Structures are given as structure tokens and as C-alpha cells.
Structure 1
Amino acid sequence: MRYRGLGLWAWGAFLVLSLLTGCSLPPPSGDQIQALNQGEVLTLPSQHQGALTPADIPAPPAPGDPRWQAVSLPDAWDTRRPDLQGYAWYRLRWAPAMAPAAGQPLSIYLPYASMNAQLWVNGQLLGQHGRMHEPVTRHFYTPLLFDLPHGVLRPDGQANEVLVLLMGYRAYRSGLDAVYVGEADALQAAWRHRHFWQNTGTLITSIIVLTVAVYGAALWWRLGREPMFGWFTVAATVWGVRNLNFVATELPFGLHWDNIAWSRLSVSGATVFIGLLALFTLSYSRWVLSKDRLPRWQQAIPLAYVAFSVIAFGVQDDTGGMRVWFKPLGAGGLLLTLWSQWHLLFTAWRVRAKQVWAVAISGLAYLALICNDLLVANDLEGLGRLFLRQYAAVPLFLSITLVWTHRYWQALQQAETLSGQLQREVDAQRAELEASFQKLVKAEREQALAQERERLVSDLHDGLGLHLLTAMNMARREGPAKQPLADTLQDCLDDLRVAIDSLSNLEDRDPVLLLGSLRFRLQPRLAAAGVQLDWQVGGEIPPQPWLDASRALHLLRLIQEALTNAVRHGQASRILLRIESTPEQAVRISVVDNGVGLPLSRTEQPGHGLSNMHKRAQALGATLEILNEAQGGTHVRLTLDAPQRV
């Protein structure tokens, strides 16, 4: 029921608008206003067709000129003088019904005088609006109002004479409508009323339509160069510019166009708009129905109409020639509009959406007022009737714009909703991942602690446990020497301290601090044994991120083993422990002693202690070299390739 009511309303609106076809504004009325519609006309010979300079404008003819002929207004040239192009004089007489008050302003009002008019009263030039020579100022759709001074009027009881010089073109709706004389306030009100509907209102519609065209261009640019938006933008632009023909009486910037060329552009713009609007309407209907783009033949028909009309009007150099093509092209434009509007109505009926119905109803209003404009344009008798199609285009374009804005707003809201939902899902996933990551970190930390505990227990069992077992056996023997037992216990203490040192400075991961602690613990023992331990740091040693507790213990054990070998096997009295940075940014640790060196067999076939040192170096990812110095002694060199470790 809702859509049926909407459809009935649409047809009702169509019928109401159809009644408006051929509408005209009421004439001025009042006790002090006289309508002059009976007089005489004098047409000028062909040499006066379009004066080129002000000096060529015809002068008023003599009162007794035999060429004066009786005429009644409105005088439409298209019917009564179809071959006239140029100038014609009109002579009208009136005697005021009562003498106007001395201070009462008077005016003369010309609702329709095309193309332009010059006004004389009682032999005095009252004025003209714009040029009366080529290019003549375009007042074909603009009412004219002249102030009437009391000083030019004749004494009471004598008739006054009005001369109107009219310049017009052949087959261009030229002519003169009834002339009104009287009270200025009433005539100014009538002039303002007509001027608004013919000029100001048309200018407003042009501004609105051109603004909508800019909006359509923005949509076209924003939404992937969709052809439908392109047709809409071009159609709105053509229509907005074309309607300025009703408003602009002079071109800006001092440009002077031939009025024939201006007329060609005006009628071509009207037909081009019809074709472009049909292309848009067909594309819009398929867009609403979610169909593919227009078939080629549906695009070809409006484009062929546009091309043919532009050629037909463009080759004409005379308004009469344009009139020949006006009726068939107007009929073709009406058929094209009916075809496209049928598609629009069918689409509105299919989708049953209020927004689409709004566009369809606006299209019906536009169609009704096309009929009005065609009737006005082809009426060869009447003058001063209104063109209304420019007003129908405004609701049509605005309804389309509102539909697109609604669709675009819905898309934005949907995008925002989806974005918010996606953000919530992402936040939930992030929280879940963070929880899982924390669990994983905790599990890895617990596993690492377990592995480190197991490693430490194993290392203490293999090292410290063996030393403690040896010390216990020595203590159980009767009368053991105290010194060997003390040495064994000292070894146990050293192993324990090395294990503790490996767990220290884990945050700094500084090999200098690690080896410095080892040197600090071993130096007193070595000094007691008569061995001097020298310490040397070469260059800036950066922290080593890879040096965790396990690798730190391997490093300490390896250096400890090197120092022990230098004392026990090398019989050294002096040992140098040096740590330095290489040009390759590696860390090199050297243990150099002045002992007897290693036997050749020991360097080629390392024993158990040297084998452990190589295993620890391999676990560190380091290079271990054990060399005999030329002057005697042993050189243990450990190179830690730090960049690879990082």
C-alpha cells in the first residue's frame, strides 16, 4: 500500500505539473495602470537589419509616414512577420484616465521585448537598456522597466505617444507584448515578479546545478571514475551553463559574441543535455538494479542524438535555419526522455525504494515541464510565457544527489562499523596472543631454568663432586698430609666460585667483568704458588648479548683450564691474561705463559684436558688455537666471533 500510494502521488504530481504547461504570469493591474495593446507598426527595409554602430540605429520615422500599419499586441514576428530580421517601430497612444498626482512616480513596463528595445515618449528619448547595435544586448527573456518623468507628458486632455524601437531576429521568438503605463510601484512589483521567475530564479537554479556538478565530479573522482557519475557531472555542467542563456544579457570581460552563435550554443546545449541525461538515467537504473554497464547500443542512441543535434545546429548561420531543425530534434529529445524515464519508473517499481521513487517522481516533473517548454518554444502566437524546465532539473538533480549521499553515507557507516568490529576482534586477538606469549615466555623461562639447573648440577657433579669425593677419601686416611687436602678443598671452592661467576653479570653480558672476576679469585692462589698473573685489556670491549649463563660457564672453564695447564704442566712463573677487540670486531682472549711449553705430541694429539677445552670452544662457537711460543712457553688464543653470535 505504501508504494502504491507513492506511485499514485507520482502520477498526481505529473498531472498537476502538466496543468502548468503554457503558464504565464498575470499582467499588472490597478486603477492607475493602462495596458497599451493597440497601435501601429512600421518595419524597416533590409539595409537596417542589424546596425553595426550607434550611428546606424534608425531614427524615429515621421508621424505621417505611409508605411505605418495598424497592429495589436502581442505582435509575434514568427507568425505575422516570419521573414523580418532587424528593426521595427511601434507607435502607441494613451490618454490618462485621470491626471497623476504631482509627486506620484510613473513608469513604463515592457514584459516582453525581444531582442532589445529603445523607448521614446512624446518625441523624447526615454532610454534603452544596453546596445541596440550588433551585438545587440540580449533581453529576449528579460522584462524592461523605464522611469517616466512627468515633464515629458502632455497637458491634460491630450494623448501621449510612445514609440518603441524593437530589434529582433528571424524565427527567434521576436516581437513586442503589451506595454503598460502607470503607477511606478505597481509596475515595479510586476517587473520584480517576472524578473524573479525568468531571471533571478533561473540564475539560482544554475548555481545549484553547477554546485551539484562539482559534487558529482568529486564522486566521480572518489569512486573509481564510474561512468555514471561522469555522465551526471557533464549533464549538470552543460545544463547549468546553458541556462545562463536566460540570465546573461552581456558576456563578461568585455567579450562580444554574435547573437546567432550564442543561439547555436543555447539550443545545442539543450539537446546535448537531453542526451547526457538519458545516458545518466539509463546508467543509474542499471546501477540500482546491480546490473552490468550499459550495452553499447543503449549508449549509442543518446550519443548519436547528441552528435546529430550539434552538427545540425552548428552548421546553421541563421536563426531561421535553426528553427527548421528545432521541431524534429525536439520531438526526438522528447522520445529519448520518455524512453529513459520509463527505465527509471520501471526500476523504481522493481526495487520499491523511497529514494529511487524520489528520483523517478522528479523525472516525471522534469518530463512534464519539457512538454511545457516545447509548447512555449513552438507557440508562434503568444509571447511572454515562461520556460519551466530549468526549475524541474533542480529537484531531479538534488534527489539524485541525496540518493548518492545516502548511499555514500551508508557505505561510510558500514565501513566504520566494520572497522570498529575489526578493531575489537584485533584487540581480542592481540590480548589472546599476548596472554599466549606470556605463557610461552613463562614456559620457556621455566624450561631454561630447569635446563640451567640441570646443567649446573651436572657440571658441579662432574667437577665439584669429583673434588669433594677426593677430599673425603683423603680425610678418611690415617694421618693424611694437610696440604694435599687443603689443595683439593681449594679446587672445590674454585669450581664453586666459577659456577657462581657464570651466573653473575648476566644483564651486562660483559666478558671483561666475567674474566676480571676470575682473575680476582685466582690471582691470590697463583701468587702463593709463586706465579705472577698479569692482566691486560686492549681497546673497547662491547657487551656480548649472546653470553648467557651456559656460555659464560664454558668460557670460564676454558680459561681456568688454560691457567691450570700453564701452572701444572708448563711450570710457568708468569702468565698474561689478555682480552682485546680485533679489527673484525671480534673478541680475542689470550693466555700466554713463560713455561716450558707443550710437548709436540700434546699439541698434535691433545689430552683429555685439551680435548675438553676444544669442546667448550666449539660450544661457544669460537676458534681455539694452542701454540708454542718461539722464546718458550704456551700461547692459548680464543677468538669469539661476536657478530655471528648476535
Structure 2
Amino acid sequence: MALPHLWDDGTKTWGDEVHYRLRLPPTPPEATSGDAQLALLLPRIGVRFRVLFNGQEVESQAWRRGPGYFDAGTHAHLVPLPPSLRKPQWEHNRVEIQLQPQALRISGLAPVWIGSRDALQERHQRLIWWQVHLTWMVAASALMMGLLSLLIWMMSEERLLGLLAAGLLVLTLRLYLSTPLFLSGPFLAWDYLHKLTFTLYCGFLYLFISELFDFRQSVVRKLVKIMMVIGPFWLGVLVWTQNYNLYRLWTGVIVLVCVLALLKVIHRARWGMDVNQRLMVVVGLATMVTGLRDFLVVQVGLPGDVDIRWMTAGSLVLMFAMGWVLVQRTSQSMEQVERLNAELAHKVNEREDELHAMFSRLRAVESQRVLETERRRLTRDMHDGLGSQLVQTLNLVHSSGERVESATIAFMLSHALEELRMTLDSLEPMGGDLPTILGTLRQRIAPALKVAGIELDWQVQEVPVVPGLEARGVMHLFRCLQEVFANVVKHAHASRVAVRTWQDGERICLSVTDNGVGLGEAPESGYREGGRGISNIRLRAAEIGAEVWFSGALPGTRVTFSFACEDPLAGGAPA
């Protein structure tokens, strides 16, 4: 019996069951040498079914279960055909598929694949990843972010976070109902909730964007509110009449409203947008494209792989973007609270001791200046180090598609973790103790040198305190030495590197010497006068009041730093 893929497109005279008898290929498919078993791949079949091979049942999905919400069409099925049931003559084999359709649900049987089980396994696993695993991944992410947004909204009562929480929690429910599960109760009631959650998700999402862009009196905003009010009644009529075309029409209305919303955002761009708004525009546009593609392929019937829905992956990206906005808003709120608390404490202190009011104000201003300077330094270091590594890792994941090299990702994430640890180490109070600072750095560089096969000759002696090596100065010194050791590993072709400290009169000296190719002896040398490496080292050294020289070591290269000391002692340079 030839039936359309959408059950409701045909007549209503079919019964509650449909039996398909497959016309097998004239010759049996070739089986792999490792596994002679054949199998059927059912990309789409709904909503309950069973498969018979030569009159024997080989697969069943909720066929004998009572009333409830279940849809086998949420994922693909791989059905093995046991060799023991196979008849000697291929043309005598019979495959029957019996299914129970459901009104207002995609029912019927899509084209069936038959062949070696091993040959079909790859396609089946790919479909399961897209249809099931990715759905659960997005649902878990939406639930976590939705609950976090709800918690923050309860504390801050910010409307933006409330809309975000509502949208993500509604999306979680929709994704939960889109997974292979069985729920007791009327099917149409659960299906109504499944369709309604999509309407509410789109509505809350636009209201979130309108709040982010400050569209207070927008016409599109009013249309969205009207859509969210009409939606439950429209879908109720859909369930009552069981006319699937009403759902197609309603989905088209949602897509049209999304297009109008996007045009409104583009119109808003004439007055400029901040970083969060630009991010939401780009990600929102990409997500809308995935939804439009699914609508045209699944509902309208344009060419495309119906088994794979793009909007699930698009929703995951959109959630990460909204999560970033959530973090930004939370950070801004915390900073605002901190500022208010600082102002309140300042006023209280001012009234408690009028004699010290001016001194307190000056101290608060100085403290604020120091905090702002430190915050800018940390932001710059995190951006240049950890941020750069994470962006490179994210770009690699995006460009690699489905085949992500885990070893490369692990290496890049380890590098990012080292950047974070170095930043945290720089915050430790070391009081200008150069040996302690170098000992902290040694823990970071020693493994890399060992992997590169370079021996570390550590001759760090006790020297007086070096002024200027507080948190900011420690990070500058870390970055200088990080650049030096990076050049040793990448360009010097050295087998040994020596680190030494000594006191020379009123100066404290630090040197890093390798036995490599020597300064300027290799075209790819990292120490090229006017190059970025030397420039960065000199700029950072100047920030902490140090002098730096680059010289040949015969063989190799020596980089020497010279610092002023607080309590000079007698001493000389090592031989």
C-alpha cells in the first residue's frame, strides 16, 4: 500500500493499522565478510510499529503497550534480520512492517534501507547522535541555564533574566517530549503540549531579544504577545479538527514573525549595537536559518535530509550565546552592587568621623584607581593568554565538523589551563622574592622542556628583594621568560638551558642561556631585532624597571635581565 509520509495528507478511511509488504531487491544485498547478517534501517516510522521477517516478529516498538504518548519516529531504527529465519531462495523471503499511525503526528513509513548490518551501522549511529544524543545534550544545557537564570532573576528581579529563564525551561520541556520515551495519558494532550512549547519558546526568545535591544513599544513585540495569546487556542482548534494544515499554517506564522523580528533588529543596528547585541544578531540569524531549513524540508517538502534536523544544533549555539549574555548581565549587576556598597560604606565612614573625611575619600579614590588598574591588567592578561587559547580551540572545533581531533583539543585546553594557572600564580604575594617567583615558573616550564628533550640547569641563588615585582610585575616577568623559553623550544635547537641569578653591586641579575644555534644564526630565530618577540620582552621589562640584553653565548644565546635591589650586598657575576 503506497501511503504518504504525512498520515494526515491522505484520506481518513484508513484504519488504526497499516501493513506494508516490502518489495525486496531482485538479488540479496552483499554482506560484509565479518558479519553475514542483513538488517533494515528505518529512518522514519511512526508512531508504533513492529517488523515481521518471514512471519516472525524481529522488532517491536510499543506495539502492545496501552494508550500513552510515544513516537518511534523521534529516532531511526536498525532491525537485524536473523540468518536463521532467512529462506534459501532470496525471492521467497518476506518482510512486513505493521504500524499504528497517529493523527496530527508525522506517521507512515519513509523509504527503507536494506543491506549488511555493518554497512548500515554508520548511518544509524549518525542519525542516533543527531536525533537522540544531541537532543538530550541541548535539553540538559537548557535546563541548567534555565534554572540558573531563574535563580538569578529571583534575586535581581531583572525582567531580561526572567524571560530568558522562561524560554529555556519551555525549550527543555519541548526537547524532553521530542525524545524516545513513553508517557501515560492521552497522546493528543501531550502532542498539544509539545506543539505549544514551540510557540512559547519562540515568543519568550523574541521578548528576551526585544528586552536586550530595548524595543519597548515595538510593533513586532506586540505581534509576538498576540501570537503567544492566540497560540493555545489555535492549537486547541487543531487538536479538535485534527487538520494538520492548521499546524503548517501556524508554523508559517511563527517563521514570519521571526523574520519581522530579525528585520527589526537590523533596523535597530542603525543606532549602533553593543557586543552582546551583535552576538545575538549573528547567532539569532544562524538559528533562524536552521529553523527555516527544517520548515521547508520537513513541512513543505523541499529536497534535503529529513532525518536530520538542524535547529537542534542551532538551539545549542543560541543557548551558549544567551548564557554569555547572562554572565555579562550578572557580572554587571555584581559590579553595580559592589559600587553601591562601596558608596554606602564611604558615606557611613564620612559621618562617623568628620575629622578623617577627606583622608577617607582620598584613600577610597586611590584604592579604586589601584583596583581599576589591576582589573585592566587581569583583563588584558586573560584576553591575551587564556582568551586567545579558548578562541583558537573553539575555532578548531567549529572548523573540524564532526571529526574533532581530541588530542589537539586536549593540548590546546592544557595550554589554556597553564595560562590560567600562570595568571593565578602572579596574584600570590611574593614580596619581590626573585627565587620564589622563579621557582613558581619552574613548575610550569619544566614539563615542556622535558618533553622537548632539553636539560634544565637550575642555578638560582638567594638574592635581595627586587622592588616592583608585585602581582603586575610578576606577570610581566612571567611573560618575558615565557617568550624566552618558547624561543628556546621552538627555534634554538638546544639540548640544555641554564637559569642563573646573582648580585652585581646594586643590581640583581637573571640570565637564561641555551646552547642552541645562537643569536641570528638561524633564519627562523625568535630573536630578530625589530621582531615582535624582542619588542614584547623589552616593553614588559621596562614596565617593571628592568634592563634586558640579548647576546651570543658561544654556542647559543644568553638573555640577561638586570633589576635594582633594595638592600644591595657584595657580589659579582658568575663565571
- One of 299, 302, 310 as aligned partner of 2:232: 310
CA deviations over 1:110-155 (Å, ceiling 9, x no partner): 1111112210011111120223553373112211122322100111
Aligned residue for 1:140, secondary structure, equals helix
**Cα distance 1:157–1:362, how it changes in 2: closer, same or farther (>3 A)?**
closer
Contact 1:228 1:284 (C-alpha < 8 Å) held by counterparts = yes
Matches within 5 A, 1:186-205: 186-205=119-138
CA–CA separation in structure 1 for the residues paired with 2:188 and 2:211: 35
- The answer on 1:96 being equivalent to 2:17 is no
Aligned residue for 1:165, secondary structure, equals strand
User: Residue type matched to 2:39 in 1?
Assistant: S
Contact 1:145 1:188 (C-alpha < 8 Å) held by counterparts = yes
- Paired position in structure 2 for 1:503: none
Shift of 1:176: 0.9
Contact 1:112 1:177 (C-alpha < 8 Å) held by counterparts = yes
Shift of 1:250: 0.9
Shift of 1:364: 0.6
Matches within 5 A, 1:203-218: 203-218=136-151
CA deviations over 1:497-549 (Å, ceiling 9, x no partner): xxxxxxxxxxxxxxxxxxxxxxxxxxxxxxxxxxxxxxxxxxxxxxxxxxxxx
User: Residue type matched to 2:327 in 1?
Assistant: T
Moved more, 364-373 or 93-102: 93-102
- One of 259, 263, 267 as aligned partner of 2:187: 259
- The answer on 1:150 being equivalent to 2:72 is no
Shift of 1:311: 0.8
Contact 1:141 1:198 (C-alpha < 8 Å) held by counterparts = yes
- One of 36, 40, 48 as aligned partner of 1:108: 40
- Paired position in structure 2 for 1:269: 197
Moved more, 138-147 or 380-389: 380-389
Shift of 1:337: 1.5
Shift of 1:372: 1.7
- Paired position in structure 1 for 2:399: none
User: Residue type matched to 2:290 in 1?
Assistant: L
- The answer on 1:174 being equivalent to 2:96 is no
User: Residue type matched to 1:339 in 2?
Assistant: L
CA–CA separation in structure 1 for the residues paired with 2:238 and 2:357: 82
User: Residue type matched to 2:227 in 1?
Assistant: Y
Contact 1:90 1:165 (C-alpha < 8 Å) held by counterparts = yes
Matches within 5 A, 1:635-646: none
Shift of 1:248: 3.7
**Cα distance 1:406–1:249, how it changes in 2: closer, same or farther (>3 A)?**
same
User: Residue type matched to 1:175 in 2?
Assistant: G
CA deviations over 1:73-123 (Å, ceiling 9, x no partner): 985545555654621111123441457769534432211111122100111
- The answer on 1:86 being equivalent to 2:16 is yes
Matches within 5 A, 1:222-621: 222-223=155-156, 225-251=157-183, 256-286=184-214, 294-295=216-217, 300-317=222-239, 320-321=242-243, 323-379=244-300, 384-413=306-335, 416=338, 433=355
User: Residue type matched to 2:161 in 1?
Assistant: F
- One of 177, 185, 188 as aligned partner of 2:118: 185
User: Residue type matched to 2:48 in 1?
Assistant: N
Total equivalences in the alignment: 355
Contact 1:200 1:247 (C-alpha < 8 Å) held by counterparts = no
Contact 1:260 1:319 (C-alpha < 8 Å) held by counterparts = no
Contact 1:84 1:169 (C-alpha < 8 Å) held by counterparts = no
CA–CA separation in structure 1 for the residues paired with 2:136 and 2:35: 36
User: Residue type matched to 1:373 in 2?
Assistant: D
- The answer on 1:125 being equivalent to 2:47 is no
**Cα distance 1:364–1:83, how it changes in 2: closer, same or farther (>3 A)?**
farther
Which ranges of structure 1 fall in alignment gaps of 5 or more residues?
Answer: 1-40, 42-70, 288-293, 437-646
Aligned residue for 1:164, secondary structure, equals strand
Shift of 1:336: 1.9
CA–CA separation in structure 2 for the residues paired with 1:86 and 1:263: 18
**Cα distance 1:296–1:99, how it changes in 2: closer, same or farther (>3 A)?**
closer
Contact 1:205 1:394 (C-alpha < 8 Å) held by counterparts = yes
CA deviations over 1:275-305 (Å, ceiling 9, x no partner): 2222222222108xxxxxx349765432221
- Paired position in structure 1 for 2:153: 220
- Paired position in structure 1 for 2:509: none
Contact 1:170 1:319 (C-alpha < 8 Å) held by counterparts = no
**Cα distance 1:418–1:283, how it changes in 2: closer, same or farther (>3 A)?**
closer
TM-score normalized with structure 2 length: 0.55
- Paired position in structure 2 for 1:587: none
**Cα distance 1:398–1:425, how it changes in 2: closer, same or farther (>3 A)?**
same
Contact 2:196 2:232 (C-alpha < 8 Å) held by counterparts = yes
**Cα distance 1:343–1:238, how it changes in 2: closer, same or farther (>3 A)?**
same
TM-score normalized with structure 1 length: 0.49
**Cα distance 1:85–1:433, how it changes in 2: closer, same or farther (>3 A)?**
farther
User: Residue type matched to 2:101 in 1?
Assistant: G
Shift of 1:156: 4.8
CA deviations over 1:228-249 (Å, ceiling 9, x no partner): 3222221221122112222143
CA–CA separation in structure 1 for the residues paired with 2:150 and 2:353: 44
Kindly name which structure, 1 or 2, has the bigger radius of gyration based on alpha carbons.
Answer: 1
Aligned residue for 2:214, secondary structure, equals helix
CA–CA separation in structure 2 for the residues paired with 1:244 and 1:213: 14
User: Residue type matched to 2:152 in 1?
Assistant: L
User: Residue type matched to 1:143 in 2?
Assistant: A
**Cα distance 1:102–1:370, how it changes in 2: closer, same or farther (>3 A)?**
closer
Aligned residue for 2:58, secondary structure, equals strand
CA–CA separation in structure 1 for the residues paired with 2:207 and 2:332: 26
Shift of 1:401: 2.4
Shift of 1:316: 4.1
Which ranges of structure 2 fall in alignment gaps of 5 or more residues?
Answer: 359-575
CA–CA separation in structure 2 for the residues paired with 1:374 and 1:99: 37
CA–CA separation in structure 2 for the residues paired with 1:414 and 1:284: 18
User: Residue type matched to 1:310 in 2?
Assistant: P
Question: Whose RCO is larger (CA < 8 A, sep 6+)?
Answer: 1
CA–CA separation in structure 2 for the residues paired with 1:260 and 1:422: 58
CA deviations over 1:575-619 (Å, ceiling 9, x no partner): xxxxxxxxxxxxxxxxxxxxxxxxxxxxxxxxxxxxxxxxxxxxx
User: Residue type matched to 2:265 in 1?
Assistant: L
CA–CA separation in structure 1 for the residues paired with 2:277 and 2:293: 25
CA–CA separation in structure 1 for the residues paired with 2:81 and 2:306: 23
CA–CA separation in structure 2 for the residues paired with 1:248 and 1:100: 30
Shift of 1:335: 2.5
User: Residue type matched to 1:191 in 2?
Assistant: H
**Cα distance 1:214–1:157, how it changes in 2: closer, same or farther (>3 A)?**
closer
**Cα distance 1:142–1:208, how it changes in 2: closer, same or farther (>3 A)?**
same
